[in-house]
Structure 1
Amino acid sequence: MMGPVLAACLLIILSTAWISQANEALCKKDGGVCSCNNNKNSVDCSYKKLTAIPSNIPADTENLKLDYNKLSSLPPKAFHSLSKLTLLSLQGNKLPTLPAGVFDHLVALDILGLNNNKLKSLPPRVFDSLTKLTYLSLQINQLRSVPNRAFDSLSNIKTLRLDTNPWDCTCNGIIYMAKWLKKKADEGLGGVDTAGCEKGGKAVLEITEKDAASDCVSPNTTTAIPIGTMTPASVIYDDIHEIKVPQENFQKFLGYQEPDHLPTQPQCLMSISGYLGLMMSLMLTSAAILYVFHFLKKA
């Protein structure tokens, strides 16, 4: 009777190994492309030429680095399963904008790095859930203004980097930001004086309503398609209604992917490695099942 017991134990061990293989293929030691430190709940996927965020990042991850990849867009729910994140770094990618609600579940986030991207605009209320954020970097982008009340929820912010953006101080869309920065400068917030106007040499916090009298409309943005005219393919974005989307990204917004979104070599190798590992696990599991049935039949 020991034979079936041993076989059952073997089956349990193999099944556990199979599940572990499927869950940990993200990390280098299991054939993935990212470096993982389980003791610190840290995942580093920097400098991997990634065109998409890995889908199997553990839910208990606290530090996630995706720096200097080739990310040109983010799914609206990219980080919704990672509510324990305290650090998220996306610097050095190719992001022209952010989807609405992308940070909504990151209520524990302390540090957010968005510098060295191609951000031309921010969606309304994008930082509303980040009430614990102490450090935000938006420098070295292409921002000309921020939406009204964009920073209002950042009640614990200690450092805000805004330099090296072409802030447009001639349009009244900059007034909210100028008043907010002036108020925070008086409160001692670091980095508020790093935002300089594209023209005129002034700091944004010095701008008055008289300086920014023009009622400008950015040529880079347009109103999203009204809900009543949405195509069936766009229904998957049911939590996005009247956000502003850069004109050149409408194709990506509707699901089109350009050739540079093809899987990279490390991603392909990771997929092949994971596939072979799963096939081997399935073969061993099948053998264990046959072994169990064999002893049960003899018994």
Structure 2
Amino acid sequence: MMGPVLAACLLIILSTAWISQANGATCKKDGGVCTCNDQTKNVDCSSKGLTAIPSNIPVDTDRLVLNYNKLRELEPTVFHRLTKLRLLYLNDNKLQALPAGVFDQLVELDELHLQYNELKSLPQGIFDKLTKLSILQLSENKLQSLPHGVFDKLTELKELSLQINQLRRVPEGAFDKLQNIKDLRLEENPWDCTCNDILYMAKWLKKKQDEGLGGVDTAGCEEGGKAVLEITEEEAAEDCVYPNTTTAIPTTIITTLASSNDDDIPELPVPQENFQKFLGYQEPDHLPTQPQCLMSISGYLGLMMSLVLTSAAILYVIHFLKKA
């Protein structure tokens, strides 16, 4: 009778191992890639070549380190269970965008590090729930603009880093709610000091310089090298027109085209990329990398091996039950 008992035990062990593998163990002590410290609730997944965030990070984690990996995108709900998180390091990855609401459950977050990525824009309201945030690092990205009111809820923010991006202006009132800001880094952006949209930022920086805010004099104009806070209304007199601004077609042209015969309408060249956008075509952001493919293959082989061993254990149990 010991045969069936041993077989049943083997079946339980294999099933447990398969479930653990399917969930993706997080910590090294469980066979995962990350290092966990139960005393301090720290999880360190840095420099592991990760293309996705492990699925079962402990819910009581308060410090999560994911820097120096190969993350290109985040699932919208990837952090939703981590409501006790206070420090989140996502710097030095390949993030190209942030999904709306990805940080909404991190209401206790104190530091958010997103520097050294490839972010070109930020979703509206991306930081609205982070009302306890004191440090926000966005330097060394490719930000071309900021959404209106993006920092309005960050009234506890003390450090904001926006240096080394592609910002030409900030929205009117962008910094007005930063009541506790102590250090603001804006250098190495192509600030457009010929455009009157820069005047809000120039006046705000001048006022904060008088109040002793650090870093306000680091923002320099793209042309001439003059500090933004020194720009006057006479120097920034032009209306702002940027390449992505849509210009309306004059009604006289529309009327003329409508009244003309089809044969008289000239053929207008349409750039290929605009035509593709009109049809809804988009190039994929990225193709699977070699590590992603290898991880997928190894995961598939591991799963198949687990299924084979589980099936063998089941047949073993049936064999001994028949003999009994």
Normalising to structure 1: TM-score of the pair? 0.69
The amino acid across from 2:74 in the alignment is: I
Q: Decide which moves more: 147-156 or 104-113.
A: 104-113
The amino acid across from 2:288 in the alignment is: P
Q: Does 1:42 align with 2:64?
A: yes
Count of paired positions: 270
1:297 is aligned to none
Q: 1:193 to 1:25 in 2, by over 3 A?
A: same
The answer to which structure, 1 or 2, has the higher relative contact order (CA under 8 A, 6+ apart) is 1
1:22 is aligned to 23
The amino acid across from 2:145 in the alignment is: S
User: Displacement of 1:271 after TM fit?
Assistant: 4.9
1:94 is aligned to 118
Partners in 2 of 1:206 and 1:50 — Cα distance?
A: 40
Choose the corresponding residue for 1:263, options 242, 264, 288: 288
1:193 is aligned to 217
User: Displacement of 1:220 after TM fit?
Assistant: 3.4
Q: Does 1:133 align with 2:157?
A: yes
1:170 is aligned to 194
2:204 is aligned to 180
1:156 is aligned to 180
Contact 1:121–1:146, Cα closer than 8 Å, also in 2? yes
Query: CA offsets, 1:186-209, max 9 Å, x none?
Result: 111110110011123321111122
Q: Percent same amino acid among aligned pairs?
A: 57
Q: Decide which moves more: 266-275 or 277-286.
A: 277-286
Decide which structure has the larger Cα Rg and report it. Answer: 2
Gaps of 5+ in 1: 224-246, 291-299
Partners in 1 of 2:169 and 2:19 — Cα distance?
A: 50
User: Displacement of 1:167 after TM fit?
Assistant: 0.8
Partners in 2 of 1:128 and 1:19 — Cα distance?
A: 43
User: Displacement of 1:105 after TM fit?
Assistant: 1.9
1:75 is aligned to 99
* Structure 2 counterpart SS, 1:30: coil
Q: Does 1:218 align with 2:247?
A: no
Normalising to structure 2: TM-score of the pair? 0.65
User: Displacement of 1:98 after TM fit?
Assistant: 1.3
Partners in 1 of 2:104 and 2:294 — Cα distance?
A: 27
Q: Does 1:110 align with 2:134?
A: yes
Partners in 2 of 1:221 and 1:162 — Cα distance?
A: 24
1:52 is aligned to 73
User: Displacement of 1:120 after TM fit?
Assistant: 1.3
Q: Decide which moves more: 102-111 or 36-45.
A: 36-45
User: Displacement of 1:171 after TM fit?
Assistant: 0.9
1:244 is aligned to none
User: Displacement of 1:102 after TM fit?
Assistant: 1.4
* Structure 2 counterpart SS, 1:261: coil
Q: 1:110 to 1:257 in 2, by over 3 A?
A: farther
